[in-house]
């Protein structure tokens, strides 16, 4: 299941994508509009700022804004950043691989084969969807 952190991050990105380009939006405005706890939202937006998706401006007219064009913000980056590994099990993860303790041979494991296929299909969708596609 999608975590609240990821769901709220996507909602905030969509809200920012609908604003005039490079216009900072205060956290309180996003929080109120999207019904997200302001404190929780601050943490999410800071995470997205650290990976270069968002910029921020301090002061009276400050807030957060998209640093990249929505077309250039791939869902795979957002999902990995906020949700973690895309793979459902660690033995098929491309970026967070770990061998399963209970599996002597991945090549003979039906769960491994199925989850690799699920990962590939999911990645295909996330790599080919941008924030612009969701707006």
pTM of the predicted protein model? 0.88
pLDDT in tens, 56-90: 999 888 899 999 999 999 999 999 999 999 999 99
9-25 per-position pLDDT tens digit:
999 999 999 998 888 99
Angle at 24 between CA 20 and CA 25, to 5 degrees: 90
- List CB contacts of 26: < 8 A, sequence separation 6 or more: 62, 63
Nearest to 121 by CA among 76, 59, 81, 91: 76
**Cα–Cα distance between 126 and 77 in angstroms, integer?**
8
Q: What is the pLDDT of residue 36?
A: 95
Whether residue 68 contacts residue 31, with contact meaning beta carbons closer than 8 Å, is answered with no
């Amino acid at each position: 299941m999608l975590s609240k952190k990821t769901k709220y991050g996507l909602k905030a990105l969509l809200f920012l994508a609908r604003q005039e380009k490079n216009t900072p939006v205060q956290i309180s405005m996003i929080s109120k509009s999207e019904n997200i706890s302001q404190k929780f939202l601050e943490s999410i937006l800071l995470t997205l700022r650290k990976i270069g998706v968002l910029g921020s401006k301090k002061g009276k007219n400050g807030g957060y804004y998209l640093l990249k064009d929505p077309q250039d913000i791939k869902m795979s980056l957002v999902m990995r950043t906020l949700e973690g590994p895309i793979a459902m099990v660690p033995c098929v993860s491309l970026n967070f691989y770990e061998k399963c303790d209970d599996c002597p041979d991945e090549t003979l494991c039906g769960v491994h084969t199925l989850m690799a296929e699920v990962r590939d299909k999911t990645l295909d969708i996330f790599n080919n969807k941008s924030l612009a596609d969701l707006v």
